[in-house]
Structure 1
Amino acid sequence: MSDVAVDEMSFEAAMAELEQVLGQLERGDVALDQSITLYERGAALKARCEAKLKEAEEKVAAITLDSDGNPTGLKPVEGL
C-alpha cells in the first residue's frame, strides 16, 4: 500500500493501487485484520477513481463544438 493520501492521488495512481489491493484480497493470503484494512483502502481508492472520472466527464461535457465538430471553447459550468 502507498503512503500517499488517497485524496491526493491521480486517477492512474489510485487505479493502479486499487488493482493491487484487489489482487491481494482475491488471493486471500492476508490476515483478517490486514484484509479489513485493505478493504477500507480499496473502498477509498474506488471513491477517488469515481470522483476523478466524474470530474473528467464534466470537463468533456463542457466542451463546445462548432458546426464542423471542432472544439471552440467551454460552456460555463453551473455552480461556479
Structure 2
Amino acid sequence: MSTTKKTFEENLQDLEIIVSKLENGDVPLEEAISEFQKGMLLSKELQKTLNEAEKTLVKVMQPDNTETEMD
C-alpha cells in the first residue's frame, strides 16, 4: 500500500469537501461525527504545514550560509 503524503492543496480540497457535506446537513449523525473528526485532523495538518512554511519564509540566508530571522 502506498503511503504517499498528500499535498497541502489536496488536503485543503478534502477539507472543503467535508465542510460542504456537513453544511448540506443531510448526513447521518454518525457519519457527520466521523467527517467532523477527519476535518479536524486535516485542519491541524494544514495549520502545521502553514506554520512550517512561515518559519521557512521568515528566515534569510546570510553570506556565511547561516540563517537569521527577518524583522
Q: Taking structure 1 as the reference length, what is the TM-score of the superposition?
A: 0.70
Task: Tell me the residue number matched to 1:59.
Answer: 56
Q: Do the aligned residues in 2 keep the contact of 1:62 with 1:74 (CA within 8 Å)?
A: no
Structure 1 counterpart of 2:67, one-letter code: K
Equivalent pairs: percent with the same residue?
26
Gaps of 5+ in 1: 67-72
- Pairing partner for 1:30 from 27, 31, 41: 27
Moved over 4 A (4+): none
- Call closer, same or farther: CA 1:65–1:76 in 2, change over 3 Å: closer
- What RMSD, in angstroms, separates the aligned Cα atoms of the two structures? 2.6
Q: Which runs of 5+ in 2 are unaligned?
A: none
**How many Å separate the matches in 1 of 2:66 and 2:18?**
37
